[in-house]
Structure 1
Amino acid sequence: MSRLPIIEPAHAQAPAADLLAAVQKALGVTPNMTKVMANNPAVLKGYLEFSGALAGGRLPAAVREGIALTVAQENACDYCLSAHTHIATTLAGLSPEQAAAARRAESADAGTRAALRLAAALVRTRGDLDDTDLKAAQEAGLGDAEVAEVIANVALNVFTNYFNKAAAVDIDWPEVSHLS
């Protein structure tokens, strides 16, 4: 059971109501995570704006979803594993096998694999990357812009992982549990 109230869109006050309506319009659903974030509209707005900005970046949706899966696995966030497994396999074009591989920071594509491994290293080191981690990503073809974007996607996903775990947000996606 969620530790913070789930704000149903029908009962939300402005500006949270407007933000939740935008989520519903964009996704066709209003996930529990956003309903819990609506306890503080600034939190929800910040999440939506950061997520929206990164959606317009260089990394394709499949890579962003792979990063989300890698980070959620590293942080043992079952809410985000559940949400991003669903999104990755229904919207971003990953097969169930590719989504499972992303959880292990693996991909058949060298560039994607480099991005996922960089994401895993960022989480494990709390951002204090070893030069070899960065060099490996660059040698695999990630330029400075892509490296910066991987870092930003990790930060976004660490935020949602911590938010969902701390608030114990009820999972409203087909449930996926972290690997031990």
Structure 2
Amino acid sequence: MSRFPLYTLDTAPEQSKPVLRQLQQAFGIIPNIAAKMAASPVLINGFIGLFQRVHASSLSEAQLQVLLLTNAVTNASEWAVAFHSALALQQGIDSADVDAIRAGGAPHDAQHAALSTLARALIETRGRIGELDQQRFIDAGFSAAQILEVIAVVAASTITNYTGSVTQPELEAPFDTFAWRAGAR
């Protein structure tokens, strides 16, 4: 038996149930990663609060998916790479750009490349990006304030990425097509 069971609306701690209901309404399913996250009301409620703020930022849903996919690849989170590959394509991200990110590269779209490059740099340097990294991002048409929004996205996705690495959720059938292995980069 797994140390981290898949919780349902019936079995989850009471304080986790509202988030599971919200995710089921948004996706039509309770993602397995959230079902495992539900063991900790502190974690799942912190996760949803930050994600709600991130999705209300100045970045578009497509831009957020570029960031979330980049973060998942950089953190080698197999579940999150599959999930965000599917969502990125749903948001209209070119399949070649999704493939490039999954391979550890940058998308061809200039703004998406700037987002992806900044997110990867933030993760790899543990936030110690230089002036040149910041200027390249701004030169791509973003603002200094949006650098801070990217930090919020990195923080939010780190919750998911680390949870996936620790709990190893099974990939749901709708995302099987997008399965990814960390050694594939």
Q: In 2, Cα distance between the equivalents of 1:147 and 1:133? A: 10
Alignment pair present for 1:59 and 2:63? no
Q: Specify the alignment match of 2:14 in structure 1.
A: 14
Q: Aligned partner of 2:100: which letter?
A: A
Q: In 2, Cα distance between the equivalents of 1:64 and 1:3? A: 31
* More displaced 10-residue stretch of structure 1: 71-80 or 170-179: 170-179
Q: Specify the alignment match of 1:93 in structure 2.
A: 92
Q: Aligned partner of 1:135: which letter?
A: Q
Q: Does the 8 Å CA contact 2:72/2:161 hold for their aligned counterparts? A: yes
Q: Helix, strand or coil for the counterpart of 2:180? A: coil
Q: Helix, strand or coil for the counterpart of 2:6? A: coil
Q: In 2, Cα distance between the equivalents of 1:133 and 1:12? A: 43
Q: In 2, Cα distance between the equivalents of 1:2 and 1:94? A: 35
Q: Does the 8 Å CA contact 2:73/2:81 hold for their aligned counterparts? A: yes
Q: Does the 8 Å CA contact 1:3/1:168 hold for their aligned counterparts? A: no
Aligned residues: 179
Structure 1 runs of 4+ with >6 Å offset: none
Q: Does the 8 Å CA contact 2:98/2:107 hold for their aligned counterparts? A: no
Q: Specify the alignment match of 1:177 in structure 2.
A: 181
Give 1:12 deviation, angstroms: 2.5
Q: In 2, Cα distance between the equivalents of 1:15 and 1:168? A: 23
Q: Does the 8 Å CA contact 2:121/2:129 hold for their aligned counterparts? A: yes
Q: Specify the alignment match of 2:126 in structure 1.
A: 126
Q: Specify the alignment match of 1:28 in structure 2.
A: 28
* More displaced 10-residue stretch of structure 1: 48-57 or 98-107: 98-107
Give 1:30 deviation, angstroms: 0.6
Alignment pair present for 1:44 and 2:44? yes
Q: In 2, Cα distance between the equivalents of 1:111 and 1:9? A: 40
Q: 1:55 to 1:163 in 2, by over 3 A?
A: same
Q: Aligned partner of 2:153: which letter?
A: N
Q: In 2, Cα distance between the equivalents of 1:125 and 1:13? A: 36
When normalised by structure 1's length, the TM-score is: 0.91
Q: Aligned partner of 1:29: which letter?
A: I
Root-mean-square deviation (CA, aligned residues, Å) is 1.7
Q: Structure 2: which 5+ runs fail to align? A: none
Give 1:10 deviation, angstroms: 2.6
Q: Does the 8 Å CA contact 1:72/1:157 hold for their aligned counterparts? A: yes
| Identity rate, percent | 28
Q: In 1, Cα distance between the equivalents of 2:2 and 2:139? A: 43
When normalised by structure 2's length, the TM-score is: 0.88
